[in-house]
Amino acid sequence: MRFNGVDIPGIFSVWNNVSLYDTDPKWDWGLRQIKEKGAGADKCVACGACEAACPQHLNIIESLQQAWKELNG
Ligand code: SF4
């Protein structure tokens, strides 16, 4: 599911994998795909639609920005 073009599950999946396997995101295929699709967290406009739809009431906007910063840092 992509909210306003942002691949939220994809970004969190890459973030989890990079952390779990201690790999360099620079070489992550999934991250490259997200960027090529233009579906990165840099496209987030903080509209809140994803948080309103989230049954677990996760703080998606803040976590997305944190993930993107770490993956591209
Ligand atoms: S806050 Fe809005 S733009 Fe940002 S990821 Fe959620 S739905 Fe997409």
Residue 3: predicted pLDDT: 77
Does residue 54's CB lie within 6 angstroms of at least one atom of ligand 1?
no
- Indicate whether 53 belongs to any domain: yes
For 13-42, write each residue's pLDDT tens digit. Answer: 999 999 999 999 999 999 999 999 999 999
Indicate whether 1 belongs to any domain: no
Residue 48 CA, ligand 1 centroid: distance in Å: 6
Tell me which residue of 7, 14, 4, 1 sits closest to 48, measured CA to CA.
4
Q: 4 pLDDT band (50/70/90 cuts)? A: confident
Domain holding 20, by residue range, is 8-71
Q: What pLDDT, on the 0 to 100 scale, is given for residue 2?
A: 58
Concatenated DSSP letters of 32-56: HHHHHHT-SGGG-----HHHHH-TT
**pTM tops 0.85:** yes
26 within domain boundaries: yes
Is residue 2 situated within a structural domain?
A: no
Q: Is 48 in the pocket of ligand 1 (CB under 6 A)?
A: yes
**Counted domains in the chain:** 1
Domain-located, residue 3: no
Does 67 fall in a domain? yes
E strand or H helix at 29: helix 29-37
Contact yes or no for 68/41 (Cβ under 8 A) = yes
- Is the distance from the beta carbon of residue 16 to the nearest atom of ligand 1 less than 6 Å? no
**Is the Cβ atom of 8 under 6 angstroms away from ligand 1?**
yes
